Structure 1
Amino acid sequence: MRMTETQELLDALREQRRTLLITARGLTDEQAATRSTVSELTLGGIVNHLTHGERNWTQILSSGTGETPPGMFDMDQYKMPQGAGLAGLVAAYEAAARATDEAVERAGLDTVVPLPEAPWEPGVVPRWSVRRIVLHLLRETAQHSGHADFLREAIDGASTTAQLGD
């Protein structure tokens, strides 16, 4: 049976999400909160950021109003919240991802929605197709998966590639 374009794009996004979560597999909460490079990023912070991103895009897709979701441009989303555990962050990410997938399937790839005005481009209200939003999520998730792999290697020497068996 041939997959639809929506199924293929969501399948590619799910694969990137799985790769990210493989990178975090087996870490303690303390390791997930560890700054292992000169960057402020942590593995827990990356999962937290991607969760916020999935939630924001789901709200943008579902509302279709172009309103800015609360906290969309909050820089704290890049941090692992105080007292948060990795298992809870992963569960929240998986739930947010499911909601995004459902919103994409409901909307259809050709639907065009207004985006919120970005602080760095006042007065500009772009409109993106759902297809472009999925491609953006795919790129964003893949980019942060690469960051996560570097962070993980600096923590304990493990790499995503080794965990995948490649």
Structure 2
Amino acid sequence: MVTCLRKGGAAPSCVAVDAMLGWLARWLRIIGVDARYGDRPDDELAETPCLLVTRDRELFRRRRGPAVLLLTEDHVAWISALIRALGVEPFRRTRCPKCNAELVEIPCAEAERRVGHPVRSRRCWACPNCGSIYWEGSHWRGIKKVVDEALRKPVDCPETH
């Protein structure tokens, strides 16, 4: 089954997702992709310098630059297709799922001080932009499991014109 369609050649280093895919932008940020998201008008999205990711067939048709049209309901396949299209190594440089800034690794003792409770983790990060604190807890392990599944999942995302 075809997961998505691609057009426009090589993907740039950033992604812009349409308003219906906010959750996908957060997931892409966590794995290290510069993923832009917001309630921008379709005309503005059609002109973005980033790889446009959408489920909107009309927006995909109008787009002149690199774009991916997601066709299925298989979210793991979407993540798989985008990891491959972008050539990203997941979790190498994680970004803040809230604001998209690159996270900075901090000592977990510092994370505990900032959140006000024990953090049972060996790795912790802080967002230099919004101040959010992250660590490898059960939620992180769940995300990693889905991404590992995506890396093993074969996808069909042919280039179109």
Both proteins in one fold, TM over 0.5: no
Q: Which has the higher helix share?
A: 1
- Which structure has the higher relative contact order (CA within 8 Å, separation 6+)? 1
Given the two structures, how large is their TM-score scaled by the length of structure 1? 0.27
Given the two structures, how large is their TM-score scaled by the length of structure 2? 0.28
Q: Which has the higher strand share?
A: 2
